[in-house]
Amino acid sequence: TRWVYAFGGGAAEGDASMRNLLGGKGANLAEMSALGLPVPPGFTITTEACNHFYAHERSYPEVLGAQVEAALAGVEALTGKRFGDPEAPLLVSVRSGGRASMPGMMDTVLNLGLNDATAEGLAALGGDRRFALDSYRRFIQMYSNVVLGLDHHLFEEILDNHKDRLDVTVDTALSAGDWEKVVADYKAAVEEELGEPFPQDPKAQLWGAIGAVFASWMNERAKFYRRMHDIPESWGTAVNIQAMVFGNMGDSSATGVAFTRNPSTGENRLYGEFLINAQGEDVVAGIRTPQALTRAAREEMGDRSPSMEEALPEVFEQFRDVVARLERHYRDMQDVEFTVERGRLYMLQTRNGKRTAKAALKMAVDMAAEGLISREEAVMRVDPASLDQLLHPTIDPASPRDVVATGLPASPGAATGAVVFDADEAQRRGGAGEAVILVREETSPEDIHGMHAARGIVTARGGMTSHAAVVARGMGRPCVSGAGDIRIDEKAGVFHVRGRTIHAGEVVTVDGSRGDVLSGAVQMIEPELTGDFATLMGWADGFRRLRVRANAETPLDARTARQFGAEGIGLCRTEHMFFDEHRIQAVREMILADDEAGRRAALAKILPMQRADFVEIFNIMDGLPVTIRLLDPPLHEFLPQTEEDVRAVAEAGGLDADKLWRRVRELHETNPMLGHRGCRLGISYPEIYEMQVRAIFEAACEIAGAGRTAPIVEIMHPLVAKGEEMRFLRNLTDRVAKAVMAERAVELPYAVGTMVELPRAALRAADLAESAEFFSFGTNDLTQTTFGISRDDSGRFLNAYLEKGIFEKDPFVSLDQEGVGDLIRIAAERGRAVRPGVKLGICGEHGGDPASIQFCEAIGLDYVSCSPFRTPIARLAAAQAAL
Ligand code: ADP
Ligand code: MG
Ligand code: MG
C-alpha cells in the first residue's frame, strides 16, 4: 500500500480530487503544486494511515517508515537542504488536515528539525542568529506542548520573566542573546518537568510529531467539533510534512491569511490580514494586531500601519494574481495561507472558504452572474440550514444605540443576553435556555462549547480571522472581535470599557454586523427578503419539483408563511384555535355536557368563532390549498388539572365545581398519547367534527360568495388506523360539506384525507386510500409510534443513545429513513396502488429538515410542510434534492 504522496517542484503525486485520502490540506497542496504555484515541497501521509494507527493500537504500517524516508529525501533534493544536517538544515512543519476543515481543532508543529546544532547552522546559513534562535524557542514551546504534553503557560511565564527583566513588552525587542537565554531556560524547564532532555534527534522529533497529529484526531475539542458538524470519526486525519519557509526573517518577510472575497458580506474584494516578520500562528493567535492587505482596506479602517500592498508591493502583485488564479481554478471563494520569505512568496494552504449565509448567497448569485458557475451550481452552493441566519433579526437602525464598546464586525446578526465571562458558565446557563453573551479576552478551541451555547460573542483581542471570528461565523452567532478598549477583570466579574463598568449578568446586545456592543436590549427588525435572497430563491423554485407548504393556524403564521414563499398550508391545527381565553369556556361547556344535545348547544357557540378563524386564514392564503386537521388532542387538555385550578376555573366560568372535578377525573387517561384522541373523538362524538366541517365550509362559501378566490379546502382526519374509520369520517365530511354548499348554493372543490401517523395506517394504506384522497405523513407521531418512544420523555435517554452511537441523529429532528421512512414508502406504494393520484405530503418537524426533504424527493412525495420560518430552507433543500 502507498501511504505517502509527495508534492513540490511544480509536480505532485496527488491532486484536489483525493481529499478523502489526503485530507483537504494535503489534496490542495498537491493541486497547487501541480499548477506550478510556489508551494514549499513536502509530502502527505494518508488518512488511511491514521485509520491503521487506530486499528492497530496506535502503531504504524510497516512500510511507512521507508516511504517517509524516501519522501523526505525527495524534499531534501528539491530544497538542497538536509534534515538534521547543521551545514544546511532542512526544517519542516508537521500539519494535521482531515477531509473536512476543522480549523484549529487538531495540532500542527512548526520548525521541526531544530536542535542545538541545527539552530547554530541555521544562524550561520541565514546570517541571522536572532531569527534562528527565535525559531528554536518557538519550536521548543510548540513541540513540548503538542507532542510532550507540557502546558504552554510554563513557557509563557519564562518569556514574561525575561521581558520583565529586560523591561520590554514586545517579542520583537528581544535580541539574539536574549533568545539564547530563553532557549536555555526552556530546555531546562522541559528537563525538569519530564526528567529527560528535550529531544535532539530530528528523526525522533519527526515521529513524535506524526504520532501527536494522529493522536490529536481524538482530542476532546476535535471530538466535540465533529459531533457538532456531523463529521464521522472514521474519516481520520492526514499528516502533511512540508519544508518550512520563514516569515520571521526580517522586514521583507511576512505571513498572512486571505479570502478572495469578503467571507462576511460576500463582497468581491480581496480580503485578509498579514504581519511583517512573523510566523503563521501569530496572525490567528491575535498576539499582535495584524495589518490590512490592501491599501483600500487600510484606508477604510483608518489604520496607519502600511498594508501589504504598500509595504511589499511586488510580492503583493504576485499574490493577487495567484489567488485570482486559485479562485478561477476552484470556481469558488478561496481561503489561503501564505508566507513571504525575504521577498519570495509561498502558498501554504488553500481551501474553499467558510462564509456567512449572507456571503454565501451573494457569492453564489455574483459568481453565476460572472459566468464562473451555473445557476444550478449557485443553488447548490448555499447550505439550506444556514438560511436560518438570514431569517433572524438584526438591530433596527432607527433605535437608539448606547454603544459601550466597538470592535470588528466579525460575524453578522444581532443578539441580546446577559454577560458571562466563562465558557463553562455560558454552556451551563445557555444550555438551560438563558440568553447569554460570552465576553472573552480572546477565544481558543477550548471555549467552543461555550461559544455554541451563547447567543453572541465579544472578544477584546483578535482580528477578523481570529479563532472567535471564524468559529462564530461558522455557527451563525453574531460576534464582535478585537474590541480593544475592553478590560476584563474576571475575578471581579466585570469588564471596564472607556470609563464604564459592565457587570457579569448585565444585559448587552451584540451587533455583529456593525461591530458594536450596546448596553441593554435593543429593538430588532425582521430580515430583508429581497435582493440576492429573492434571486437565489427564485432560481431554486425553478428547479424544484416538491411543493412547499407551511404549518400554520394563526393569521400571523399564515402571513409569515406566504411572505416566506409557502404555497399553501399543509397543517392547520384546529385545537390551537380553542385555547383562546373566551373560547375555552365554550369548549369546557361542551366537554361537561351530559348528552349530545348539551354538546350541540355548546358547539353552536363555538361555530361562529371557528368560522371567523377560517375566513381570515382563507383570505390570507388567497386561493392556495389549506389542509385543516380536525380536533386531535384528548379533551382533558382543555380542562384544569388540579383541584385548586378546577375551583378557580369553575368560579370564573360559572360552572359547577364538583361536576367539573368529577369530569376531570373521568377524563383522566393512563396513556393519553394512545388514548381518546384524534379521529376517535370524531367517531365517538361526531357532532364535534360536524361543527368543524360546517365552520370550514361556511367560511369557504362566504369567501366564494364575496367574489374572492375560494381556498382549496382539504379536510384531514388525524390518527386513523383502519379503513372503516376513514370511511365513516369521509361520509360524515361529505354529508356536512354537501349540506352547507347546498344551503349556500355554492359548489367548491374539496378533498378529504388523513394523516398517516400510525404504523397500521401505513401498512393498511390501501384500505385508507379507498376513501382518502390524500395522505399527510405526520412524522412526529409516526416516529413516536414506530419507535414506541414518547418524544416528550425521550430527553432522558436520547443523549445516551447519541453518545453511544445507537442513534446517529435525533429521529425527531432528522427522519429515521430506515424505519419510519420504510413505513412511508410502503404507505405511498400501497396507497397509490388503489388510488393512483393520491396526494402525498409530510407535515412533521421533518418537513423542514434538508436530509428528510431529500428523502421525500427520492420517494416522490408531492409536498413538504414545515414551520413558516423554515419554508425558505425547505424550498432550497427541495431544489437541491431535485438537482
Ligand atoms: P491550521 O489547520 O490550524 O491552520 P496549519 O497546518 O495550516 O494549521 O498551520 C498553522 C500555521 O503554520 C499556519 O499559519 C501556516 O501557514 C503555518 N505553516 C504551516 N506550515 C508551514 C511551513 N511549511 N512554513 C511556514 N509556515 C507554515
Ligand atoms: Mg491552516
Ligand atoms: Mg399527530
What is the tens place of the pLDDT at every residue in 677-729? 999 999 999 999 999 999 999 999 999 988 899 999 999 999 999 999 999 99
Average pLDDT rounded to a whole number, residues 190-205: 96
pLDDT of residue 287: 64
More confident residue, 230 or 478: 478
Number of H helices, E strands in the chain: 35, 34
Task: Report how far residue 330's alpha carbon sits from residue 412's, in angstroms, rounded to the nearest whole number.
Answer: 26
Nearest atom in ligand 1 to the alpha carbon of residue 108 is: 6
CATH number for 393-525 (one of 3.40.50.300, 3.40.50.11890, 3.50.30.10, 3.40.630.40): it is: 3.50.30.10
CATH fold match for the domains 46-243 and 254-355: no
Q: How many Å lie between the centroid of ligand 3 and the Cα of residue 868?
A: 18
Containing 241, the helix (H) or strand (E) segment is: strand 237-243
Helix/strand/coil for 21? helix
**Cell digits of residue 817:** 429513513
Q: How many Å lie between the centroid of ligand 3 and the Cα of residue 324?
A: 54
Mutation to probe ligand 1, out of 29, 95, 217 (largest number of atoms < 8 A from CB): 95
Buried b (16+ CB within 10 A) or exposed e, 335-348: bbbbbbbeeebbbb
Buried b (16+ CB within 10 A) or exposed e, 849-883: bbbbbbbbbeeebbbbbbbbbbbbbbbbbbbbbee
- Supply the DSSP string of 735-799, one letter for each residue: HHHHHHHHHHT----EEEEEEE-SHHHHHTHHHHHHH-SEEEE-HHHHHHHHHT--GGGTHHHHH
Task: Report how far residue 84's alpha carbon sits from residue 115's, in angstroms, rounded to the nearest whole number.
Answer: 8
CB atoms within 10 A of CB 608: 11
Containing 255, the helix (H) or strand (E) segment is: strand 254-259
Could you say which of 392, 449, 452, 467 is catalytic? 467
Torsion, Cα of 333, 339, 345, 347 (10° steps): -40
Nearest atom in ligand 1 to the alpha carbon of residue 40 is: 23
pLDDT tier for residue 436 given thresholds of 50, 70 and 90: very high
Work out whether strand 89-90 and strand 42-45 pair parallel, antiparallel, or are unpaired: unpaired
Q: How many Å lie between the centroid of ligand 3 and the Cα of residue 615?
A: 25
Question: Among 97-101, 242-246, 335-339, 844-848, where is mean pLDDT lowest?
Answer: 844-848
pLDDT tier for residue 25 given thresholds of 50, 70 and 90: very high
pLDDT of residue 684: 95
Task: Report how far residue 741's alpha carbon sits from residue 738's, in angstroms, rounded to the nearest whole number.
Answer: 5
Average pLDDT rounded to a whole number, residues 577-589: 81
pLDDT tier for residue 386 given thresholds of 50, 70 and 90: confident
Nearest atom in ligand 1 to the alpha carbon of residue 42 is: 23
Domain 254-355 is of which CATH architecture? Answer: 2-Layer Sandwich (3.30)
pLDDT of residue 285: 65
pTM, rounded to two decimals: 0.80
Q: How many Å lie between the centroid of ligand 1 and the Cα of residue 4?
A: 19
Check pLDDT > 80 for residue 445.
Answer: no
CB of 38 within 6 A of ligand 1: the answer is no
Mutation to probe ligand 1, out of 28, 131, 277, 349 (largest number of atoms < 8 A from CB): 349
pLDDT tier for residue 798 given thresholds of 50, 70 and 90: confident
Average pLDDT rounded to a whole number, residues 329-348: 97
pLDDT tier for residue 844 given thresholds of 50, 70 and 90: confident
Mutation to probe ligand 1, out of 72, 339, 350 (largest number of atoms < 8 A from CB): 339
CB atoms within 10 A of CB 157: 13
Nearest atom in ligand 1 to the alpha carbon of residue 96 is: 6
Average pLDDT rounded to a whole number, residues 50-72: 96
Domain ranges of the chain: 46-243, 254-355, 393-525, 536-575+605-632+688-882
Q: How many Å lie between the centroid of ligand 1 and the Cα of residue 103?
A: 11
Task: Report how far residue 21's alpha carbon sits from residue 312's, in angstroms, rounded to the nearest whole number.
Answer: 37
Interface pTM, i.e. ipTM? 0.96
Domain 536-575+605-632+688-882 is of which CATH architecture? Answer: Alpha-Beta Barrel (3.20)
Average pLDDT, the chain: 92
CB of 718 within 6 A of ligand 1: the answer is no
Check pLDDT > 90 for residue 378.
Answer: yes
The neighbouring-strand residues paired with 346 are 339
Could you say which of 701, 843, 856, 866 is catalytic? 843
Surrounding ion ligand 2 within 5 Å at CB are: 349
CB of 416 within 6 A of ligand 1: the answer is no
pLDDT of residue 308: 97
CB of 266 within 6 A of ligand 1: the answer is no
| Residue 843 annotated in active site | yes
Pick the ligand that lies closest to the CA of residue 245. 1
Containing 643, the helix (H) or strand (E) segment is: helix 643-653
pLDDT of residue 667: 87
CB of 89 within 6 A of ligand 1: the answer is no
691 conformational bin, left if phi > 0, alpha if psi -120 to 50, beta if neither: alpha
Contact assessment for residue 99 and residue 19, using Cβ atoms and an 8 Å cutoff = yes
Pick the ligand that lies closest to the CA of residue 338. 1
Give the residue, by CA position, lying nearest to ligand 1 atom 20. 93
Interval 457-507: pLDDT, tens = 999 988 877 788 877 876 768 999 999 899 999 899 999 999 999 999 999
CB atoms within 10 A of CB 527: 17
Task: Report how far residue 207's alpha carbon sits from residue 204's, in angstroms, rounded to the nearest whole number.
Answer: 5
Average pLDDT rounded to a whole number, residues 393-421: 89
- Supply the DSSP string of 288-331, one letter for each residue: S--EESSHHHHHHHT--SPPHHHHSHHHHHHHHHHHHHHHHHHT
Task: Report how far residue 717's alpha carbon sits from residue 813's, in angstroms, rounded to the nearest whole number.
Answer: 24
Mutation to probe ligand 1, out of 28, 108, 336 (largest number of atoms < 8 A from CB): 108
| Residue 153 annotated in active site | no
pLDDT of residue 337: 96
Average pLDDT rounded to a whole number, residues 790-814: 84
Check pLDDT > 80 for residue 392.
Answer: no
pLDDT tier for residue 171 given thresholds of 50, 70 and 90: confident
Give the residue, by CA position, lying nearest to ligand 1 atom 22. 244
pLDDT of residue 284: 65
Interval 858-867: pLDDT, tens = 999 999 999 8
Most confident of 285-299, 471-485, 829-843: 829-843
Helix/strand/coil for 254? strand
**Cell digits of residue 369:** 452572474
Check pLDDT > 80 for residue 644.
Answer: yes
CB of 861 within 6 A of ligand 1: the answer is no
Binding residues for Mg(2+): 757, 781
Give the residue, by CA position, lying nearest to ligand 1 atom 24. 244
Fold designation for 46-243: Dna Ligase; domain 1 (3.30.1490)
